[in-house]
Amino acid sequence: MSTSLRRAALAAATASIAMVSACAVGGGAGSDATSAARAKTVVVATHDSWAMSKSVLKQFTARTGYSVRVQPNGDVGQLTNKLVLTKGSPIADMTYGIDNTFASRAVDEGVLATYRPGRQAASATAYRLHDPAEAAALTPVDYGDVCVNADDVWFRKHHLAPPRTLDDLLRPAYKNLFVTPGAATSSPGLAFLLATIARYGDGWPAYWQKLMANGTKLTSGWSDAYDVDFTAGGGHGDRPLVLSYASSPPFTIPKGGDRPTTSSLLQTCFRQVEYAGVLKGAADPAGAKAFIDFMTQKAFQRELPDNMYVYPVDDRVALPTLWKKYAQTAAHPFTVPPATIAKNRDRWLRQWGDITSR
């Protein structure tokens, strides 16, 4: 950029800012992100599903003096790609929510600094990434199972046994009953595609052709599938099988009832593990590390189910009663190594797009 251009840009910025401040009579736009306040704030770039009770975050502030500023950035894909694009000028100090489907991209692109908390529960080691470089940068915080869910009431009413496996979904008895968010537009959708890839290997395109031929409906997002097409969702749709989470059934306990009307098919699940990591070039790496430590401790782990509907990696933490009863996770979930996902994701998604758009 030439000097005159830069000067012009500066003048432009000053002029527009002056003007904007002059007309900000609504008063809502006051910037309070001063450098002094930022010094003791950890900025966490995360996905839109972030939720955490204020009291837990206050505990962290009481312990460390840091306050937490959460910055939601769309879904996991958007989050990861934003971090990649802003590499060298990071938008936050740390990130939480990158999962095993995007871990390799974040690590390969050099977005993350290495950090591993000193002590983590023994059960957490099972969720560590296998690749040493990835394991050094990303700390597992929680996991969840993406599974097909069935409307048990509907199946009882139609005197039909619900399916149990991915194979079952191809049976004529279940024609036109299944709805799933698409793999290209939804992270649970991608997880389901990966479940089929884990199950059928190179034969997955053939499976999907049959699945589509059996009347599977695709939606753009999870909420669209669950809230519009699913028979047990708010929209009272016409499909009793939906792709959702192992933690979804407790949400369908009717008012005054004590049992959910839906259940998840535990032989169809893909396991998503979510990680936290320090961003390279973070303004406050010490704060980031402190918060990652805190995320692996009981006070935070305990709150995960009720706030984010995921399971803590620390198995010493008790799950909510309803979860123990109705939100079990899969004993043998499907997984695909993150490196394999990173290498093939684009090709798989394009192939999947060709199959499903006919």
Partner 1 sequence: MSRPRERRTNRPTRWWSGAGLAAMAALPVLVLGVFFVLPVAGMVGRGFFSSGSLDVGGVLEVLGRPRVHRVVWFTVWSSTAATALTVGLGLPVTYVLHRLRFPGRRLLRGFVLMPFVMPTVVVGVAFRTLLTPTGLLGGLHLDGTPVAIIAAMVFFNLAVVVRTVGALWEGVDRRREEAAAALGASPVQVLRTVTLPALLPGIVAAAGIVFLFCATSFGIVLTLGGLRYSTVETEIYLLTTQFLDLRAASALSVLQLVVVALLLYVAQRTGSGDPQVLDRTAERESSRRPRRGDASAVLVTAVVLLFLAAPLGTLVLRSLHRGGGWTLANYRALTTRGEGGALLVPVSQALDNSWRVAVDATLLAMVLGILVAAVVSARPGGRLGRRALAVLDGVFMLPLGVSAVTLGFGFLITLDRPPLDLRSSAYLVPIAQALVALPLVVRTLAPVLRSVDPRQRQAAASLGASPVRVALTVDLPALWRPLLAATGFAFAVSLGEFGATSFLARPERPTLPVEIYQLVSRPGEQNVGMALAASVVLGVLTAGVMVLVERLRTPPVGRW
- Report the site for partner 1 in 71-130 (rule: CB under 8 A): 71-72, 74-75, 77-78, 81-82, 84-86, 89, 91, 105
Does residue 289 bind partner 1 (CB under 8 A)? no
Q: Is 321 helix (H, G, I), strand (E, B) or coil?
A: helix
Q: Which residue carries 């996902």 as its tokens?
A: 341
Partner residues linked to 22 by β-bridges = none
Of 25 and 331, which CB lies nearer to partner 1 in the complex structure?
Answer: 25
Q: What one-character-per-residue DSSP string does 135-147 give?
A: HHH-EEEEEEEEE
Structure tokens at 243: 């792709």
DSSP-H helix ranges across 1-151: 3-23, 35-38, 54-64, 76-85, 103-108, 132-137
Does residue 356 bind partner 1 (CB under 8 A)? yes
Does residue 304 bind partner 1 (CB under 8 A)? no
**End-to-end alpha-carbon separation of the chain, Å?**
48
Does residue 258 bind partner 1 (CB under 8 A)? no
Does residue 153 bind partner 1 (CB under 8 A)? no
Does residue 215 bind partner 1 (CB under 8 A)? no
Does residue 25 bind partner 1 (CB under 8 A)? yes
DSSP state at residue 227:
I
* 277 within 8 A of 285, measured Cβ to Cβ: no
Binds partner 1 (CB under 8 A): choice among 199, 217, 259, 325: 217
Footprint on residues 224-253 left by partner 1 (CB under 8 A): 224, 226-229, 234-238, 244-245, 247-248, 251
* Per-residue x/- track, 155-194, partner 1 (CB under 8 A): ---------------------------x-xx---------
- Residue 329 one-letter amino acid: T
Q: What is the CA radius of gyration of the chain?
A: 23
What's the angle, vertex CA 305, arms to CA 190 and CA 193, rounded to 5? 10
Structure tokens at 12: 């432009």
Minimum Å gap between C-beta 38 and partner 1 is: 9
Q: Which residue carries 């290209």 as its tokens?
A: 184
Minimum Å gap between C-beta 188 and partner 1 is: 11
Instruction: Count residues near partner 1 (CB under 8 A).
Output: 79
Footprint on residues 28-57 left by partner 1 (CB under 8 A): 28-31, 33, 48-49, 51-53
Minimum Å gap between C-beta 122 and partner 1 is: 29
Of 91 and 170, which CB lies nearer to partner 1 in the complex structure?
Answer: 91
Minimum Å gap between C-beta 74 and partner 1 is: 7
Of 124 and 342, which CB lies nearer to partner 1 in the complex structure?
Answer: 342
Closest CA to 225 of 278, 192, 255, 182: 182
